[in-house]
Amino acid sequence: MLKKRVIFTLLYDCGSFMLSRNFRLQRVGDLHWLQKNYNFSQIAFSIDELIILDVTRGERDQEKFCNHIKALSKGCFVPITAGGGIRSVEQARSLLRSGADKIVVNSLIVINPIIIKEIALEFGRQCIVASLDVKLINKVYSVWTENGNRAQDGTLYEWLERLIKLPVGELYLNSIDRDGTGQGYDLAMLDNLPSPMPIPVILAGGAGKYHHLAEGLNDGRVNAVATAHLFNFVGNGLEKSREELLRNGFELPIWNKQIAYELRNVFA
């Protein structure tokens, strides 16, 4: 059985890192601020994966984004997943060459799923994370693209049925309604998952404290929980949350810091 995971998500916008609430962005700081407040060589022991999403409003600078990934990957031994605005195999390749282990696709699921098949053919389906951003409207869950600005026809359940036919390795299921609120995950979204669900599910949107992470991981349909809230887990917040999860019996990977430091020095 796969161990459960705790994931930290960074939101990037044209050189800055952002807070998001219901997909409305607020600038927090640049790469220097992030490296000062979040030493990922240390934080890596409290998370199992780092996701970096380019949520830039307007024209994206892929080269600049890739340079930020390269900087963040130095000394960070956990897997890095990156995405945002991917429209071609070439864009996926540049992210993977910049230090990402996996890539995230979102709008591509709707506008050109053939490209997803091409990416999988070259790099393998295991390196593709499919992301769906979800809103609850009139008691029906729907899928939104373009940074939550465009509703797609069909229900979440219908989109999930299409998604599992694509060559993707994981699902990142994100609640726009709960995003940045710190009110906990929308577990009712999970009722739309096909049964059985053939790929692992990462639940995102709403985590503000340890209890929310625990609630998400307690659900048997969830393989990993993600948080993008920079302030709720600043300092040793992530470390304390992970310690509490392990103390309460959650099956998370346990990192050997000494071995990790030695390996980092070997490959530095």
CATH number of the domain within which 93 lies: 3.20.20.70
Cα–Cα distance, 53 to 86 (Å, whole number): 11
- DSSP state at residue 255: -
Rounded Cα distance, 232 and 182, in Å: 8
Q: What is the pLDDT of residue 1?
A: 52
| Residue 238 confidence (pLDDT) | 85
- Residues 36 and 25: their CA atoms lie apart, in Å, by 21
The residue type at 235: G
Report the SS3 class of residue 138. Answer: coil
CA separation for the pair 214, 242 (Å, rounded): 10
Q: Within 13 Å, how many C-alpha atoms sit on residue 93's CB side? A: 8
Radius of gyration of the chain (CA): 17
- Domain span at 126: 5-267
pLDDT of 254 = 81
Residue-level pLDDT at 40: 74
Q: What is the model's pLDDT at position 38?
A: 80
pLDDT at 267: 47
With 0-12 CB in 10 A as exposed, 13-18 as middle and 19+ as buried, what is 149? exposed
Active-site amino acid positions: 133
The conformation of residue 194, written as its DSSP 8-state character, comes to: -
Q: What is the pLDDT of residue 264?
A: 53
**What pLDDT is stored for residue 75 in this prediction?**
73
Structure tokens at 160: 């999930």
C-alpha–C-alpha distance, residues 30 and 44, integer Å: 20
Contact 224, 253 (CB under 8 A): no
Residue pair 109/81 in contact by the 8 Å Cβ criterion: no
Alpha helices, DSSP H only, in the chain?
A: 31-37, 40-43, 62-73, 89-97, 108-111, 113-123, 156-163, 210-218, 237-247, 257-267
Question: Model confidence over 38-90: pLDDT tens digits?
Answer: 877 777 788 999 999 999 988 899 999 999 999 999 878 889 999 999 999 99
Segments in the chain below pLDDT 70: 1, 233-234, 256-268
Residue 218, C-beta contacts closer than 8 angstroms, at least 6 positions apart: none
Looking at the structure of the chain, the number of domains it has is 1
Q: What angle do CA 67, 69, 72 make, to 5 degrees?
A: 110
> What does the buried/exposed string (b/e) look like for 101-110 if buried means 16 or more CB atoms within 10 Å of the residue's CB?
bbbbbbbbbb
